[in-house]
Homo-oligomer: A and B are copies of this chain.
């Protein structure tokens, strides 16, 4: 693991580059807004740890009032449970004996932790039940309902009921309810589009809950919602838990959503710090090349963008970003450092081993990205 790019007390300008920077004032403001909004709506918040992959951040989220965190992978859950986050929901299917035994082993080793997992296949539900029985491990199980993401999840109430019955029949499993994440709604730009997608998702979840009730299956939790829509899930009267992740950090893509005046506005707290490593100053063709590229930020939602005006991203390659000055940008010189806002926070964080947490320009902490690379 590469050594940390900064020490506590360093000035931002002394941090080695490229480095992942977290502005603590902004991060704390984002967290406060999330806690206040969900508390006022009377729903639980379980922030998604796939965005930050950082135990220090998860601890702050739980200390502020989150019920626990979400993960996407067994190997992520292992990291957070081992570090004392005692309530972790894997908002994803886990398939294959190898991974299921690993999950059961985690639950067996930490009997006081609540560990949940999603299922969208009745055969897998039975297999999890059998493995947990054999391993003497207890798991919470949620049915994933596809509410428009077109990725995983069952699409009809009868499949959901069949899975729930298989879960209820397994003595080591606790059936908890529905995971109904409207993923494709998160980045619809208009407020009405996001809101109506969530209303449709909530209606569908409510129908499935009614089918559970008709089969005498209690459905304690309906969980879902991301940074783009959580306020609508919270207000739906159907969801009682929301799972936003990116709100803690933010990125260019989420900031492109039309803001809802009745929902919190989260600020950019996450940046990539880069150094100007090559410069060309010919009049009318000023070019600054930064020492951060595809290995320092993900470009699936566009490149990381400079925080200062008048410079545009011309190209991104593995280790470089080339900026061009449009005429009104500030002059830069070799060795200058620049903050960039990542296009998409989750895969950007996963590229880094360290988060350099700063406050008012000074390094306050350097946190490992504990679950970096935990893809299994």
Contact = CB atoms under 8 A, between A and B. Distances in A.
Contacts of A300: 294, 299-300, 316
A153 B96 contact: no
A287 interface: yes
Contacts of A317: 151, 183
Contacts of A99: 16
Interface stretch (A80-88, A192-200, A211-219, A344-352): A344-352
A90 to B, nearest CB: 11
A151 B376 contact: no
Contacts of A2: 75, 373-376
A90 B93 CA distance: 43
A123 interface: yes
Contact of A318 (B277, B335, B346): B346
A207 interface: no
Contacts of A50: 318-319
A36 interface: no
Q: Is the interface of A mostly helix, strand, loop or mixed?
A: loop
A72 interface: yes
A94 B151 CA distance: 44
> Taking each of A14, A278, A287, A317, which has the highest tally of chain B beta carbons within 10 Å of its own beta carbon?
A278
Given A72-B319, A99-B16, A351 B373 contact: yes
Contact of A376 (B16, B75, B373): B16
A298 B289 contact: no
Contacts of A279: 121
A374 B287 CA distance: 25
Nearest to A371: B2
14 contacts: A2-B75, A16-B98, A18-B375, A50-B318, A50-B319, A72-B319, A93-B277, A94-B277, A150-B314, A152-B278, A183-B317, A294-B298, A294-B300, A300-B300
Given A72-B318, A152-B289, A372-B373, 20 more contacts: A1-B1, A17-B96, A17-B376, A18-B376, A50-B318, A93-B278, A95-B291, A96-B275, A121-B278, A150-B315, A151-B289, A152-B277, A152-B320, A183-B317, A294-B347, A295-B346, A295-B347, A299-B300, A351-B373, A351-B375
Interface of A: 1-2, 5, 14, 16-18, 50, 72-73, 75, 92-96, 98-99, 120-121, 123-124, 150-153, 155, 183, 275-280, 287, 289, 291-292, 294-296, 298-300, 314-320, 322, 334-335, 344, 346-347, 350-353, 372-376
